[in-house]
Amino acid sequence: VKAEAAKRAAGESAVGFVEAGMVVGLGSGSTVYWFIAALGARVREGLDVLGVPSSLASAALAAEYGIPLVELDRRGVDLAVDGADAVDHDLRLIKGRGAAMVREKIVAAAARRFVVVVDETKMIDPLRGRLPVEVIAFGADHTLAMLESTGAPFILRQDGNGAHVVTDNQNLVADGEYPTISDPEGLAERIQAIPGVVGHGLFLGMADVVLVGHEDGHVEQIRPAR
């Protein structure tokens, strides 16, 4: 419940970045939930925005909150707001606990401004832990072996019933467990070069600002040094 207050503070504060007429990328997860709820309230008050959802789950949520939705097109989006699983001092991110990182990265890369909302427990430096990778089902076992050559055990993600998790793009998710990620850029390059890989959860050099929510309700804004 304490963490929820921090998530809520971060998510709601991102509404301050939204201006009338914007096309807004809507990420996924329990922190962005608060952003979508708060944005929906502003839409009900008459704010004119369009949302571009980065997952089927966020599309359903945004529709429930009355946010008009459009598909991503070549105009891109003005602002994207999304959560993260880990953030380091360079605002490098790990994403994908919700298995939506490929669409999330497409939307974030299409955004003129990318705002990340997290609670304080997500500040993890150096980056480490679970790194999700979306893989094509064909040859997945061999792809796993290639992923493991980058220095972590990988397993295919399963749901509560033991079935493989299938992404919105009809692919599988492989989760790696890295004791530490000392060279995120090098690792990202090696993973992306594996043919069975669609995309991975490292978001490097993308975040323009990270809004860190604390349990007492205050929100810190961190911007990259670059």
* 103 scored as a contact of ligand A5P (CB under 6 A): no
Per DSSP, 1 falls in state -
**Collapsed DSSP state (helix, strand, coil) of residue 217:** coil
64 is catalytic: no
**Residues from 79 through 98 that contact ligand A5P (CB under 6 A):** 82-85, 95-98
Contact 152, 177 (CB under 8 A): yes
> If phi over 0 gives left and psi between -120 and 50 gives alpha, with beta otherwise, what is residue 162?
left
Collect all residues with Cβ–Cβ distance below 8 Å to 82 and sequence separation of at least 6. 25, 27, 28, 29, 32, 54, 95, 104, 107, 108, 114, 115, 116, 117
Nearer to ligand A5P, 6 or 49 (CB): 6
State the minimum distance, in angstroms, from the CB of residue 7 to ligand A5P.
6
* 212 scored as a contact of ligand A5P (CB under 6 A): no
Please work out the total of residues on this chain that contact ligand A5P, with binding judged by CB under 6 A. Answer: 17
Among 36-44, 61-69, 78-86, 153-161, the segment contacting ligand A5P (CB under 6 A): 78-86
Residues in contact with ligand A5P by CB under 6 A are 27-31, 82-85, 95-101, 104
